[in-house]
Amino acid sequence: MKTRTLKLSAIAFLMACALCAFLFSGETSSDSNDQMSTGFGTPETLEANYEVWKAQYVKDGGDRNWVMAMGWFKGLSTEQTDARGTAILNLVDGTVSVEINGLPKAEGWDVWLIDNGPGSVLPESSDKLLRIGSLKHDSKAAKLEANLGSDAFADFELDIIAVTKAGASPIENRVVVGTTTLFHRLYRSEQRGQFGVLSDQDELAATVAEKRSIFERLIDLVSPTAEAQIGPQQGVNNLITRGRNGFFNETFNGNGRTCGTCHRENESLTISPEFISTLPQNDPLFVAETQPALAANFENPVLMRKFGLILENTDGFGDLANNFVMRGVPHTLALLPNTLLPALLDGTTIPPNERTGWGGDGAPGTGTLREFIIGAITQHYPRSTNRVVGVDFRLPTVAELDEFEAFQKSTGRQADLVLSGPGALSLKSEVAALGQRIFNNPSPGLGPPNDPNIGAGNCFLCHLNAGAGDFFEPGRNANFNTNVEGQPAQPADLVGQPNPQDGGFGGGVSPTGGIGNGSFNTPVLVEAADTGPFFHNNSVDTIEGAVAFYNSDSFNKAPGFGGIITGNAGLINLEATEVVAVAAFLRVINALENIRSTRDLAVRARNSTNQAIVNELLRLAVAEAEDALKVLNCGNLHFVAQARLREALVELILAQVISDRGLRNVVINKAIGDLDSARGDIRN
């Protein structure tokens, strides 16, 4: 293995030397139809995910039955509250129904609708602000029914609904908040016959153009920036490209961090302790070590560097010294169809929340991706822990939120795998194939007939088709208390650093300690093997260890959960060889996804006429191919496929330094052929 690594390093060094020649002789022109690279994001993925969402939205009543979750909203709510509820909007007839639980009866409460202008997502005097009435308490909840007339939403694009204290403006007071989503906005643009053309985008473009100095415009003429190269793109292409640019470059006037500070593009949109160890001291990840105003209660540098754990104030910003938890960075690949789907029966949400973050409750709050973005900026971007908007950071505009959502919903695969029944995935590795059968094998009385000759993994019950879907609620993503937090001897507890118990979702006191009900969101497994460490607290380093956890007393005797996974018919008890088999199965499906992604990036690079875009796509393709190699090699799986992947890797590196498009594409085509061969060695 060391010899192969040296060979690859030598090839990479020679390619880097050749780059000098390329810089002075390569292509500089770009076809007018050539797009800026959107990295892992593609319009096809975004549109496919939108179509799935739209089908359900229309089935539920469409614009006559828009159900918006409401709750405490980090970054928008002006005070902490456990109150939550829903707003049901009929945009056609102009009716609004609001029901909130948990508001003090002794106070009065008003409901406002906000249509944001081109400024911040925060309500401002220049926005359209509409008070629709006051909530009235009954024995259980505070409610409002309002009829605004059929023309109410003709020229009113609802961005925010807010509950304020009686007599207060939403500019100054917001207790319970709900927001729109990108897909709702795309749906209304489609109803207007202009799919993907959003009015706020035009307002943002005008604002940006107005602020650009003459010097900046002159610089763009000589060396176009990413923003300048985006140019005249329209619709979802524009949204995705701008979203990716913002995701990795926009600091929101904060401490220097971006979304990409923790969600590294060449690290499968996550970050690991190994990768952290390679970063220079001036990397924005280390602002708590380099910026005095963030030295206390912003991060724990020891736990970050050793275990990749990031400090989160999931229960508000009061008592920063004690009110925090430490969590790993989940990847953001394939958010749909996996983790942006609500659950109906797990008791942790009011539908139709999107399920984001380890708690499944957003940042936390109502769980939407839009809210998660706002909460993440408020949590991780400020110049000081005062977190004063306009001083320590700025909040995004509606247009920027659309763009960030578009990029994140455009990455990864478009659908879950099929692991059982007609058309099921068929694997060539006997060990991985056994792992697939164990994964789908239920305890007696649960699901399809079980195989008594192998262990009952029951994995499919919470990870249907290796996604994050619930077998009992297909297409839904749920929360459970599997007692990960209750494991003994967790690495982060052994180094003498403050590390409070994490209670997961919501309020109350978790059975294992901490604020919450002890439940965490079910993650997707297809991309798991190359995005460790595992679980919300990064407590396990290997995929084999993660599988073995489900043999443990911590899981099988979890407070409030023990026996549920097996219908009280017995515990999960896999032999060591069966643990390895399930892990091998997870490694193989991860490698197949890496190969799919590598091939997609290579094809897009081949079709591009812009060398900079080609190199950007090939750089990501190289990272994906390396991931495929790593997950297979560490599991001693598919040595022929590994050989083909190494050949493809060398070819993808070589293609980056070939300036002639015809010759470059010959090399890329060879890499694509090797990727196809590798895939053919893995699956039937």
**pLDDT reading at 220 higher than 60:** no
Instruction: Say how far apart CA 303 and CA 325 lie, in whole Å.
Output: 11
Number of domains in the chain: 2
Is 217 inside a domain boundary?
no
Q: If DSSP codes are grouped into helix, strand and coil, which group holds residue 133?
A: strand
pLDDT for the residue numbered 235: 76
Which pLDDT band holds residue 175 (cuts at 50, 70, 90)? very high
Same domain, 55 and 121: yes
Among the candidates 191, 220, 250, a domain finishes at 191
Same domain, 91 and 1: no
Q: If DSSP codes are grouped into helix, strand and coil, which group holds residue 456?
A: coil
In our burial notation (b when 16+ CB lie closer than 10 A, e otherwise), range 650-681 reads bbbbbbbbbbebeebbebbebbbebbebbbeb
Is 116 inside a domain boundary?
yes
Is 526 inside a domain boundary?
no
pLDDT digits (tens, 9 = 90+) for 57-84: 999 999 999 999 999 999 999 998 989 9
Is 85 inside a domain boundary?
yes
pLDDT for the residue numbered 26: 41
Q: If DSSP codes are grouped into helix, strand and coil, which group holds residue 178?
A: strand
Same domain, 9 and 140: no
Which pLDDT band holds residue 296 (cuts at 50, 70, 90)? very high
Same domain, 15 and 72: no
Distances (CA, A) of 558 to 358, 485, 561: 18, 10, 5
Least confident range of 105-119, 199-213, 327-341, 588-602: 199-213
pLDDT for the residue numbered 234: 60
Instruction: Say how far apart CA 196 and CA 284 lie, in whole Å.
Output: 33
Same domain, 74 and 155: yes
Same domain, 86 and 151: yes
Which pLDDT band holds residue 563 (cuts at 50, 70, 90)? very low
Is 119 inside a domain boundary?
yes
Cβ contact 252:284 at 8 Å: no
Same domain, 161 and 85: yes
Instruction: Say how far apart CA 109 and CA 130 lie, in whole Å.
Output: 14
Same domain, 10 and 78: no
| 451, two tokens | 């195989």
Same domain, 181 and 61: yes
Q: What is the DSSP letter of 442?
A: P
pLDDT digits (tens, 9 = 90+) for 473-503: 777 888 888 899 999 999 999 999 999 999 9
Cβ contact 296:385 at 8 Å: yes
**pLDDT reading at 11 higher than 90:** no
Which pLDDT band holds residue 424 (cuts at 50, 70, 90)? very high
Three-class secondary structure assignment of 608-667: CCCHHHHHHHHHHHHHHHHHHHHHHHCCCCCHHHHHHHHHHHHHHHHHCCCCCHHHHHHH
User: Assign residue 193 a region: left if phi > 0, alpha if psi is -120 to 50, beta otherwise?
Assistant: left
Range(s) of the domain holding residue 588:
1-30+417-463+571-684
589: domain CATH number is 1.20.120.660
pLDDT digits (tens, 9 = 90+) for 444-464: 777 777 888 999 999 998 899
| 399, two tokens | 């247009």
Is 375 inside a domain boundary?
no
Comparison of pLDDT for 88 and 197, the residue scoring more:
88
In our burial notation (b when 16+ CB lie closer than 10 A, e otherwise), range 523-561 reads bbbbbbbbbbbbbbbbbbbebbbbbbbbbbebbbebeeb
85: domain CATH number is 2.60.40
| 176, two tokens | 């319970």
Is 606 inside a domain boundary?
yes
Is 292 inside a domain boundary?
no
How do 160-165 and 176-179 pair as beta strands? antiparallel
Same domain, 25 and 128: no
